[in-house]
Structure 1
Amino acid sequence: MTSPIEDAIEALLAAAPEGKSIDPAAVAKALDAEGWRRQLGRVRNEAIGMARQGRLVILRHGKPADPDTFKGVYRLKRPDPA
């Protein structure tokens, strides 16, 4: 069973061009257009969990970041195919 946040992340990643990343704020806005800022912490926590599972990559300055230690502004991307 997936959460609405996971579903929104997956939908936005699927809609993004191959190899492109998405802004976590876009995920939050998809969930709650008016109160999206309140969703940012939940989006971050869900993204960290998905990154730990290998389902997405968290980027900092365009490079993969450790989901357990990254700080600041980040983006989300699908993992590169093996």
Structure 2
Amino acid sequence: MEDAGPALERAIAALLDVRAPGATICPSEAARAVDPEGWRALMPEARAAAGRLAAAGAVEVTQRGAVVDVATARGPVRVRRAGS
């Protein structure tokens, strides 16, 4: 997939739209929504898409419940709507 960034950002927003307030998603869920077969290759871009949405104030990226910078976080992260 050439530039999956916008599709991943839309997928993150759509997944959060159908979750309860305060609920989180894994970036892999967005990657799977965009490319069910090749989602693993999209993981770096899915994390980057979450980072862009966080920088815009739309979401928060968390690790063990604490807000983190996805660019420096190592290991699994979760994404939730900002202010949740």
Counterpart residue type for residue 3 of structure 1: P
Structure 1 stretches of 5 or more lacking a match? Answer: none
The aligned counterpart of 1:3 is: 6
Structure 2 stretches of 5 or more lacking a match? Answer: none
Structure 1 length-normalised TM: 0.88
Counterpart residue type for residue 79 of structure 2: L
Q: CA RMSD in A?
A: 1.5
Structure 2 length-normalised TM: 0.86
1:55–1:79 Cα contact (<8 Å) kept: yes
- The alignment covers a number of residue pairs equal to 80
What is the CA–CA distance in structure 2 between the aligned matches of 1:70 and 1:42, rounded to whole Å?
A: 14
- Greater share of residues in strand: 2
Counterpart residue type for residue 82 of structure 2: P
